[in-house]
A = this chain, B = another copy of it.
Amino acid sequence: MKDRYLDFVNSPFGTSIARALGLPKPEVLRRHRADEAEFAGMAAIGAGPSPTLFDQLMRVLTGIGMTGIAHDSAPDWLALAHRRGAMSGRITPRAADSGSANRVHALIFDATGIAESSELHALYAFFHDALRSLAKSGRIVVLGRPPSTCASPRAATAQRALEGMTRSLGKEARNGITSNLLYVAGSADIEGALRFFLSPRSAYVSGQVVHIDRPAAAPASWTKPLAGQRALVTGAARGIGASIAKVLAEHGAIVTGLDVEAARDALDQTMLSIEDTSRSGGAHAALIADIAAADAPAEIAAALASAGGVDIVVHNAGITRDKTIARMTDDMWTSVLDINLLAQERIDDALLAQNLLRAGGRIVAVSSISGIAGNRGQTNYATSKAGVIGRVQSMAPVLRERGVTINAVAPGFIETQMTARMPFAAREAGRRLNAMGQGGLPVDVAETVAWLASPACANITGNVVRVCGQSLIGA
């Protein structure tokens, strides 16, 4: 369809509005393709005083075939690289000025040793020199310490300040570049998170802060990290849910896709297409159930029990019934709360009571930017999605004892049948009011879910990761 936004931003008034809001002109994002190398090229490395993650970083980069080149702020990097026999070099400021051949694919800054805000100057020096050298769809990753674990208020202050830097870089960078901050506690392993945030799989994830809190074992295979695992995906017939089912299968999982009777044909089709795609030989299954029904948890538990339990539960099913509250009917409130929030509680309780969620299990729940920021006409939806965040935060410590993680993804504007039916202006606004200047695709949400479901994410729990292209909208 005609992109009327482009007409608007090129009109005299629209141009100035767009500049003021920092609305970017859309870039075609690089996404994961089976026939393209996931990682390649150079990562420029910067650091504040006493970086603590260089060893891990070098190991990861070497493992994925990227070359780490040092910025002046990271003098120890070259020594480390030479000691390890790795290819290395030195980044020159304005390498970008000499042409795109010299561009780097990632800028990684180890800020974990920064203990005073004056030392944040090293971030300025690095990004000032290096940002223009970053290729299209490049990646910015800043590594810090969780402020709550810092020894002094001054260190906590400096670490918390990294958020302002990382989010500002995401809004400045354009060209499909993402910028994310990882708070790494103690000796936590960063490989799972680094691989995700450096890969095209995180194309639409920017401006996020992720907490990594402990060691985690690498999966047997990085290409099929979910091999042999059973996953349940609710609302799997169409849209985001169907994409989640497909991507989990591509990562090796055997998927039980659940949806309501009315979506039976679509669900069957989705599950069949997964068989074709994955060639995993696993027994993917379609399960018809209405998660709002009282007996649904027992039905689901029975189905999973016969499959020997479940490793990954993705609470994706959700509905909207938008209306301002004075016009909202009782049923619109109750059904949205029931399906989007209460059903998740009932299903998890049933699975946990019967010990069907195996050790090392993963729960990933779909929240929404509306649950973070609230939204006009969505008191019911925003309340349910804020509740999903509450679930993730309050269940995380409880589930940790079982070796189970629980996290949420919060999609922004994602191109689906649902958004295609939105009024023109709402759709355009949703598409453009983010740092990528475009809507995301269901696969962007699915890749994020698959990452959080992976064994390497044993050390990420209680997090909410927005998949929103760094939407302007928030709280």
**Contact in complex: B171, A375 (CB < 8 Å):** yes
Interfacial residues of chain A within 404-435, with CB under 8 A of chain B in the complex: 423-430, 433
Q: What 0/1 pattern do residues 384 to 398 of A give for CB contact below 8 A with B? A: 111101110111001
Assess whether A16 is interfacial by the CB under 8 Å rule: yes
Q: Whose C-beta in chain B lies nearest to the C-beta of A367?
A: B164
Contact of A373 among B167, B394, B428 (CB under 8 A): B167
How many angstroms from the CA of A128 to the CA of B379 in the assembled complex? 10
Assess whether A377 is interfacial by the CB under 8 Å rule: yes
How many angstroms from the CA of A398 to the CA of B150 in the assembled complex? 13
Assess whether A255 is interfacial by the CB under 8 Å rule: no
Assess whether A138 is interfacial by the CB under 8 Å rule: no
Assess whether A264 is interfacial by the CB under 8 Å rule: no
Contact of A172 among B325, B389, B433 (CB under 8 A): B325
**Contact in complex: B124, A328 (CB < 8 Å):** yes
**Contact in complex: B167, A387 (CB < 8 Å):** no
Q: Which residues of B contact A319 (CB under 8 A)?
A: none
**Contact in complex: A393, B160 (CB < 8 Å):** yes
How many angstroms from the CA of A427 to the CA of B20 in the assembled complex? 8
**Contact in complex: B20, A165 (CB < 8 Å):** no
Question: Which of the listed residues A117, A158, A165 has the most CB atoms from chain B within 10 Å of its own CB?
Answer: A117
Assess whether A169 is interfacial by the CB under 8 Å rule: yes
**Contact in complex: B326, A374 (CB < 8 Å):** no
CB distance from A27 to the nearest CB of B (A): 16
CB distance from A77 to the nearest CB of B (A): 21
Binding stretch for chain B, among A290-298, A330-338, A453-461:
A330-338
How many residues from A make CB contacts under 8 Å with B?
Answer: 92
Assess whether A166 is interfacial by the CB under 8 Å rule: yes
How many angstroms from the CA of A122 to the CA of B402 in the assembled complex? 34
Contact of A117 among B125, B128, B168, B341 (CB under 8 A): B341
Q: Which residues of B contact A20 (CB under 8 A)?
A: 423, 425-430
Interfacial residues of chain A within 308-334, with CB under 8 A of chain B in the complex: 324-326, 328, 330, 333-334
Q: Which residues of B contact A280 (CB under 8 A)?
A: none
Assess whether A154 is interfacial by the CB under 8 Å rule: yes
How many angstroms from the CA of A21 to the CA of B423 in the assembled complex? 12
Q: Which residues of B contact A330 (CB under 8 A)?
A: 124-125
Assess whether A159 is interfacial by the CB under 8 Å rule: yes
How many angstroms from the CA of A378 to the CA of B158 in the assembled complex? 17
How many angstroms from the CA of A385 to the CA of B168 in the assembled complex? 12
Assess whether A132 is interfacial by the CB under 8 Å rule: yes
Assess whether A213 is interfacial by the CB under 8 Å rule: no
Known interface pairs A161-B383, A165-B386. Does A374 touch B131 (Cβ–Cβ under 8 Å)?
Answer: no
Query: Can you name 10 extra interface pairs (CB under 8 A) apart from A162-B386, A163-B475?
Result: A13-B425, A117-B387, A120-B383, A124-B379, A150-B394, A156-B394, A159-B390, A164-B386, A169-B374, A207-B475
6 example contacts (A-B, Cβ-Cβ < 8 A) are as follows A118-B342, A120-B337, A157-B390, A164-B385, A168-B325, A171-B375
